[in-house]
Homo-oligomer: A and B are copies of this chain.
Amino acid sequence: MSKCEQCIIRQFNSLKALTKDELLRISACKTSRIIKKGEVIFEEGESLNGLFCIKDGVCKLTKLSANGKDQIIKLVEKGQILGQRSLISDERTNLRATALNDMELCFIPKAEIIDDLKKNNNFTMDMLKEMADDLREADDFIVNMAQKSVRQRLAEALLNINENFGTNPDGTLSVLLSREDFASIVGTATESAIRVLSQFKKEGLISALGKHIKIEDLEGLKRVE
């Protein structure tokens, strides 16, 4: 199995703060997992017993609401870590993680990470910083949800996906989402999401061939009211 020390992925998350020795220990106890598109990585309410480091692929973090609909809280991609919150709070997960495409994950057992958190303050501080960033993002998300129309929220969702996950060579968004997923990001009915996307298409803001969506007028999308 490959060594964490040589893994480029590590540079993009808190694990970069670990020392060589710590990385060697983690390499020795980590396990690797392949997850197929659509598969659930962990369920809401599950005990994780460790962290996942995403080596490849993208997944969605969702929470089931009382009315039975899933809400997408966040999309997480290659280089990022899953399960920090439950690890730190020592609680079951509050979200479900589902693969949006085929994924490769490394699993690091809880005991090792906790040990590092206690001994390596740089690591703890780095994780604290990441969590502080997540919290700011969550604040922004709350305001968007509370104060903007479905049309505005969907425009923002497209812009965010474009900004954070980039595009394929043909200009289409690299993350493929169903209309239901879009609805689940902006918190609306699937039909409403479909209607707004169709409208964006008519207005020339985007083009769409099935799930392959391309932003045609970035500035126009930003101006959506």
User: Interface residues, chain A, CB within 8 Å of chain B?
Assistant: 63, 65-67, 69, 71, 73, 84-85, 88-89, 91, 94-95, 117-119, 121, 124-125, 127-129, 131-136, 138-148, 186-187
Contacts and interface: CB of A to CB of B under 8 A. Distances in A.
- Pairs A-B, 5 closest by C-beta atoms: A146-B187, A138-B138, A65-B147, A145-B145, A88-B132
Nearest to A91: B136
Nearest to A122: B118
B128 A63 contact: no
24 contacts: A63-B143, A65-B144, A65-B148, A66-B148, A71-B142, A71-B143, A71-B147, A73-B139, A85-B135, A88-B128, A88-B132, A89-B133, A94-B139, A94-B140, A117-B125, A118-B125, A119-B121, A124-B125, A124-B128, A128-B128, A131-B132, A135-B135, A146-B186, A146-B187
Contacts of A141: 138, 142
Most buried by B among A71, A136, A139, A143: A143
B132 A142 contact: no
A220 B121 CA distance: 48
Contacts of A85: 132, 135-136
Given A66-B147, A69-B147, A118-B125, 15 more contacts: A63-B140, A65-B146, A67-B147, A85-B132, A89-B132, A89-B133, A94-B139, A94-B140, A121-B121, A124-B128, A127-B128, A142-B142, A142-B145, A145-B187, A146-B187
